[in-house]
Structure 1
Amino acid sequence: MAEAARSTRRTGLAAALLLVLVVVAGGVALLLRGGDGGRVVLDGLRHRSTETVALAATGARRWLRDSTWPAAAGTPRGGADADGAMASTTAVAGAVDDPEAVVEQVHMSINNSTSRRNLGYLTAGTGNPIDDCWRWDPDWHNHRQRLADCGIGFGRNAIGGRDGKIYVVTDPSDDDAVNPRKGTLRWAVIQEEPLWIIFKRDMVITLKQELIMNSFKTIDGRGANVHIANGACITIQFVTNVIIHGLHIHDCKPTGNAMVRSSPSHYGWRTIADGDAVSIFGSSHIWVDHCSLSNCADGLIDAIMGSTAITVSNNYFTHHNEVMLLGHSDSYVKDKAMQVTIAFNHFGEGLIQRMPRCRHGYFHVVNNDYTHWEMYAIGGSAEPTINSQGNRYLAPTNPFAKEVTKRVETSSSVWKSWNWRSEGDLLLNGAYFTPSGAGASASYSRASSLGAKSSSMVASITSDAGALSCRGGSSC
């Protein structure tokens, strides 16, 4: 009887195998015929490959995040590429070799990868990939660190304090820059371990001296109305993996000629600071998102001295002269490795120039809303590559300030070879963009970081730029 049972099972398996072969053969025949059945199978294959690409992009990003190295003072930053090989000193730590080739994969990963978001709720689908990643979750305040998985552009690998504890700022004072009290913002940002820093209540923090940050920190203002104002502001110097989100930063002043602590084991003498809202100096993997910045003594966001792998997104800039400087000086060639994404920002009332001004490097200016400038919007001075895509440029009424672009103190015989392009931009009220360079797509591979949306969507994408009025218990 046992032998009979085994014979019966073998017969059943053979029949099942024959049935599978018949089904496969039928599917192949449908594909060869090219009929409706063939299209169904092909659509299934496309769906499967889309999912595979998204997962591959997510996996590659996770590997890069596990391979972050702190910056060393005075040295160019290096890193590992996706194959594990050491990057050259001119390559960007954490950046891909050909960003333009993987733009669609990255964009797909941001918008569609359920493994990355894993939130279990439907988004509103605004077209803003950062916001669609987290804002529509009514329980966002209970898993704040998921924000770190929503980054885009060249700074997308900035994880901040994602892998650390949550620290709550309860004390807005800043009485001692050398020995800060626990509970203050300064105490948190100088710690060695990763921290995700939040705020217990609304507060105005007036810093006596620069807030010198350590690596792997997030300052997350969501859920409170937090102003850093009327004193010193934020310095990100020779560190890596910093996220600044949801703050009002304004009326920053020069400070210095004082001792300031930068870690639990080190403090030192600081000379006079410029008075930037956010100063990025020799640092990488930096993300500044959903902040409102205005009226500071120098720049609102400046990135210099070999800084790279930076994203500036969803911010609202107002009432300022020199908004954003990217690059230390025309002679500082280490900035040739700089890659910065400027996306989904609103450049609003009272702005004059430098949105941004770029020296060396590669800059992706994508889906921003420029509603005010008095001199120019985008400038450059040392052969930067500027890739402007899907922005809305509304020129001022001044007939002599209609040009979006300005080559600073450079003759046309020099800048005519610089790679500056406008692709899909909406130019209003007489605005015009002066392109230059060869115009070949390959010229912009290192200045491409995500897929641009249509400029017709800019108003909705940027409608909530700046610090958000979020409260726990409802979508933000």
Structure 2
Amino acid sequence: MAFAYLNLGSYVIVFVSLSIAIVAPSVQAHIAVFDDYWTQRQANALRQTMESYEPNPLNVTNHFNYHAALAMETTGADNGPRRELGQVKAGQKTRGGRFRSLNAIDRCWRGDKNWAKNRKKLTDCVLGFGLKTTGGKNGPIYVVTDASDDDLLSPKPGTLRHAVTRDRPLWIIFARTMVIKLQQELMITNDKTIDGRGVSVYITGGAGFTLQFVKNVIIHNIHMKFIKRGFGGLIRDSEEHFGLRTISDGDGINIFGATNIWIDHVSMRNCSDGMIDAIMGSTAITISNSHLTDHNEVLLFGGKDGDVIDKKMQITVAFNHFGKRLNQRMPRVRYGMVHVVNNDYTHWEMYAIGGNKNPTIISQGNRFIAPHKETCKQVTKREYTPYTEWKSWNWQSERDYFLNGAYFVQSGKSNAWSAAPKNPIPKEFTIRPQPGTKVRSLTKDAGTLDCRPGKSC
């Protein structure tokens, strides 16, 4: 592809010009007819990618680690494992009835017994590269009352598809527990929050979510399982537009050229393709507090070697539990930078973290429990690349906790992954990550939460 040889600063011109050549982008993007509407959305999304890129990622990783440490200090859990286990249990109340959590994101909102009336407080709690995500904060509450998905062109008011295709910010909640089978991929527009707190929402047996050339989306407290490929067809993708789609991949959540995305407290299992893919210039993303099980290729960040726009990709993966019957890609990265921090890796069959095309991977304070198979103890895997090339890649491990023979092969130079900030951060932000020995408490409530109005969650 021609743009692979150009400076990233000229990407807007190149990317837009490629969209005129309908065949190449439409095949990958599952857009059968790349019309003026999609050309404009693609151009807007690329501009957003360039604007959302953080040139000094050290600011973001240190900001995360500072707040993680602050949460531990303010719960009184920083004085050793005995006090941590005896006084604080993540996700529970203390003897006096006051909610406490060791997890910096959860602690921001879960102690509020009036969370159901203050739902939008959630937007104050995101950390990591998705820090600026506000979802539907600036819009009204939209209540989903109908679990059906029968009309892809004129979705019925009250359905989830109707809600996510509105051309305005919305905070979407659910009237009751629902099982939703999506007939085709759910095309989500800008400035949306899908908030499943207070009920149980299952997206199952059908297609998954697609976030294509959009910005500012929060997905929170949703079950997703047994996601299948959609056969395509005419599908509404916004309030004023619908178009012809090709067969979808069967991803749980497909993030395509999207920015400012936060996925939090999602439980996922058994998708036909990937659980969460972030490709084609997607950046400013945080994936947190989720529980992932029963899958082969879990997280894919960067879809093709030729997509050099993914050098702008920056993603935080934090406080997640990678659980039973997982095989590989937690994540698998091309280009870009991923901060993998305070996750619990209790199962993998091939490897946990892999990649190629010189991505930067900063692994901090995770717990890695290797499988029993002797040939799969290594956490890391560099794919399709000789040692003479990957030895300079910046893959760093700090305060990770390794069990059952697990080991992380580092490369590159320590602290070489971030240039000195132009605006130096305060000294109090220069702090080490929470150690992997504390991960079990930090991730205890990963996955969907049983939140009840009138009680702390």
Shorter-chain TM-score above 0.5: yes
**Structure 1 position 142, deviation (Å):** 0.4
Partner of 1:310: 285
Distance (Å, rounded) in 1 between the aligned partners of 2:247 and 2:193: 26
SS of residue paired to 1:457:
helix
Q: Deviations over 1:148-186 (max 9, x none)?
A: 111000011110001110000000000011110000000
Partner of 1:48: none
Distance (Å, rounded) in 2 between the aligned partners of 1:321 and 1:230: 18
Distance (Å, rounded) in 2 between the aligned partners of 1:353 and 1:445: 31
Query: Quick one: structure 1 residues 377 and 111, their matched pair in 2 at CA, closer, same or farther if it must change by over 3 Å?
Result: closer
Distance (Å, rounded) in 1 between the aligned partners of 2:390 and 2:257: 27
Partner of 2:327: 352
Higher relative contact order (CA 8 A, sep 6+): 2
Aligned-residue identity in percent: 52
User: Superposition pairs for residues 397-436 of structure 1, below 5 Å?
Assistant: 397-436=372-411
How many residues of Structure 1 are paired with residues of Structure 2 in the alignment?
387
SS of residue paired to 2:46:
coil
Partner of 2:252: 277
**Structure 1 position 328, deviation (Å):** 1.9
**Structure 1 position 78, deviation (Å):** 3.8
Distance (Å, rounded) in 1 between the aligned partners of 2:216 and 2:376: 38
Q: Contact (CA 8 Å) 2:377, 2:407: kept in 1 or not?
A: yes
User: Superposition pairs for residues 22-37 of structure 1, below 5 Å?
Assistant: none
Partner of 1:139: 114
User: Superposition pairs for residues 113-192 of structure 1, below 5 Å?
Assistant: 124-192=99-167
Q: Contact (CA 8 Å) 1:123, 1:132: kept in 2 or not?
A: no
Distance (Å, rounded) in 2 between the aligned partners of 1:294 and 1:446: 40
SS of residue paired to 2:309:
helix
The runs of 5 or more residues in structure 1 that have no matched partner are: 1-69, 80-88, 114-121
Q: Are 1:77 and 2:35 matched, yes or no?
A: no
What residue identity is the alignment partner of 1:130? I
> 1:228 aligned to 177, 187, 203, which one?
203
Distance (Å, rounded) in 1 between the aligned partners of 2:40 and 2:400: 36
Q: Are 1:290 and 2:265 matched, yes or no?
A: yes
User: Superposition pairs for residues 185-334 of structure 1, below 5 Å?
Assistant: 185-334=160-309
Which stretch of the first structure deviates more once superposed, 442-451 or 393-402?
Answer: 442-451
**Structure 1 position 108, deviation (Å):** 5.2
Distance (Å, rounded) in 2 between the aligned partners of 1:413 and 1:168: 56
Q: Contact (CA 8 Å) 1:71, 1:282: kept in 2 or not?
A: no
Q: Are 1:377 and 2:372 matched, yes or no?
A: no
Q: Are 1:465 and 2:440 matched, yes or no?
A: no
Query: Quick one: structure 1 residues 108 and 422, their matched pair in 2 at CA, closer, same or farther if it must change by over 3 Å?
Result: closer
**Structure 1 position 109, deviation (Å):** 6.5
Query: TM-score, normalized by length of structure 2?
Result: 0.81
Partner of 1:442: 416
Q: Deviations over 1:295-342 (max 9, x none)?
A: 000000000011100000000000000001000211211110000000
Q: Deviations over 1:66-87 (max 9, x none)?
A: xxxx9941577346xxxxxxxx
Q: Deviations over 1:50-98 (max 9, x none)?
A: xxxxxxxxxxxxxxxxxxxx9941577346xxxxxxxxx7x5x335432
Q: Contact (CA 8 Å) 1:339, 1:446: kept in 2 or not?
A: no
Query: Quick one: structure 1 residues 243 and 76, their matched pair in 2 at CA, closer, same or farther if it must change by over 3 Å?
Result: closer
Query: Quick one: structure 1 residues 243 and 281, their matched pair in 2 at CA, closer, same or farther if it must change by over 3 Å?
Result: same
Q: Which has the larger radius of gyration?
A: 1
Partner of 1:36: none
Query: Quick one: structure 1 residues 431 and 108, their matched pair in 2 at CA, closer, same or farther if it must change by over 3 Å?
Result: closer
**Structure 1 position 345, deviation (Å):** 0.3
Q: Deviations over 1:203-224 (max 9, x none)?
A: 1000001100000000000000
Q: Deviations over 1:377-417 (max 9, x none)?
A: 00001110000000000000111110000011211111111
What residue identity is the alignment partner of 1:408? E
Query: TM-score, normalized by length of structure 1?
Result: 0.77
What residue identity is the alignment partner of 1:100? L
Partner of 2:81: none
What residue identity is the alignment partner of 1:429? N
